[in-house]
């Protein structure tokens, strides 16, 4: 069956309208590929796949860049363990390999961040809690025993 010019134009307009809708969603706040899929799961799946591919090619969707930005943001604003950082990204639908790759490439910086987070939490909690309670709290949050020990050593 041959498309008429009018049908081709209508399809083109439909695709462009959908791309604009997705672009607005992406530009408003950086999104993961998984977030985009969930948001538009009720749309035409072929059109969604084409749109995701298009925006990946254009650099608007890149989970690797998302992980880098998100990790830097989390580390600047929060005191989280590496485990908590990973969990936040997994919740966003980021592939575990992408997360682990980033952590591996930035291991020294991330371990240092976790130690500094431990120190901040210890200093804050020491006013009201004993060290054993604080250690249990840190373990429950996913901090490694090595990093907890290093934090206590640095605090003296």
Could you report the per-residue pLDDT of 109-135, keeping only the tens digit for each? 999 999 999 999 999 999 999 999 999
Could you report the per-residue pLDDT of 91-107, keeping only the tens digit for each? 999 999 999 999 999 99
pTM of the model: 0.81
- The residues, any chain, with a CB within 8 Å of residue 114's CB and separated by 6 or more, are 81, 82, 143, 144, 147
- Supply the mean pLDDT for the chain: 92
Could you report the per-residue pLDDT of 24-65, keeping only the tens digit for each? 999 998 899 999 999 999 999 999 999 999 999 999 999 999
């Amino acid at each position: 069956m041959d498309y008429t010019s009018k049908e081709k134009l209508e399809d083109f307009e439909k695709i462009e309208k959908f791309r604009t809708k997705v672009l607005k969603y992406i530009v408003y706040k950086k999104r993961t590929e998984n977030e985009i899929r969930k948001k538009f799961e009720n749309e035409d799946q072929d059109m969604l796949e084409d749109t995701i591919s298009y925006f990946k090619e254009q650099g608007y969707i890149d989970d690797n860049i998302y992980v880098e930005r998100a990790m830097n943001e989390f580390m600047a604003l929060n005191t989280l363990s590496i485990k908590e950082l990973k969990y936040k990204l997994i919740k966003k639908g980021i592939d575990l390999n992408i997360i682990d790759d980033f952590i591996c490439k930035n291991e020294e910086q991330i371990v240092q961040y976790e130690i500094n987070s431990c120190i901040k939490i210890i200093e804050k909690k020491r006013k009201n809690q004993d060290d054993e309670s604080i250690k249990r709290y840190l373990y429950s949050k996913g901090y490694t025993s090595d990093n907890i020990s290093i934090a206590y050593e640095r605090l003296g």
